[in-house]
């Protein structure tokens, strides 16, 4: 059997992490098995221990990757699509519009790890790999939000992020479409208000 190069092994490992990051945001970490994570990446579970020490190791790395993805979306927002032909928006406003949107609400697997996994992280023991990765990712997300071009001090960034995450969690949990949309819209208005 031919040996796999280090570069190929790293690409495979990265693929497992990225697919697991999506799965844990969609289903929660307790609902994702090692065989399922490996299969999502196109591998059998037999190769798992060549890449990771444990499931906890994989979950922590997947969570870190999910937070990195959200931070990069904040720091480098995608250009507005045809649905937003209005005047140029500030990076903060563009991020808020995308974060507090129906597509973000409806696709947790591609969305914010803080909103998707806060309750799961809170249920784990202090010092667990998942809780440690969640805390570090949250800290980095707050710092990135505070660095957006419209400067905010750390306390404002914490309050704004708390409002965003809370609104998204509640909007996802509501089965009433109107209430869900109202939660997102109210948070957008509050965070976009002058002085917010």
pLDDT, tens only, 106-130: 999 999 999 999 999 999 999 999 9
Q: How many domains does the chain have?
A: 1
136 touches 146 (CB < 8 A):
no
Residue at 60 is within a domain: yes
pLDDT in tens, 152-172: 788 988 999 999 999 999 999
Structure tokens at 168: 């998204």
In a domain, 29, yes or no: no
Q: Which two tokens stand for residue 102?
A: 């129906």
pLDDT value of residue 91: 81
pLDDT of the residue at 73: 84
| 21 within domain boundaries | no
- Residue spans of the chain under pLDDT 70: 1-2, 4, 77-88, 151, 194-196
How far is Cα 134 from Cα 119, in angstroms, rounded to an integer?
Answer: 11
In a domain, 97, yes or no: yes
pLDDT value at position 82?
43
pTM for the whole thing?
0.86
Instruction: Supply the CATH number for residue 176's domain.
Output: 1.10.357.10
The CA distance from 139 to 106, in Å, is: 25
Q: Is residue 34 in some structural domain?
A: no
Domain housing 94: 55-192
């Amino acid at each position: 059997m031919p040996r796999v190069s280090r570069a190929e092994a790293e690409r495979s490992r990265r693929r497992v992490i990225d697919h697991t990051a999506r799965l844990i945001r969609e289903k929660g970490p307790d609902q994702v098995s090692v065989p399922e994570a490996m299969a999502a990446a196109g591998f059998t579970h037999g190769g798992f221990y060549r890449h990771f020490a444990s499931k906890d190791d994989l979950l922590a790395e997947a969570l870190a990757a999910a937070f990195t993805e959200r931070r990069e979306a904040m720091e480098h927002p995608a250009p507005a699509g045809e649905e937003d032909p209005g005047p140029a928006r500030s990076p903060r406003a563009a991020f808020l519009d995308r974060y507090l949107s129906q597509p973000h609400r409806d696709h947790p697997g591609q969305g914010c790890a803080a909103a998707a996994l806060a309750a799961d992280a809170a249920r784990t023991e202090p010092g667990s790999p998942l809780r440690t990765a969640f805390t570090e990712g949250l800290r980095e997300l707050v710092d990135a939000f505070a660095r957006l071009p419209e400067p905010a001090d750390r306390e404002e960034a914490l309050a704004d992020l708390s409002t965003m995450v809370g609104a998204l969690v509640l909007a996802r949990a509501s089965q009433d479409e109107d209430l869900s949309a109202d939660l997102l819209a109210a948070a957008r208005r509050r965070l976009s208000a002058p002085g917010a």
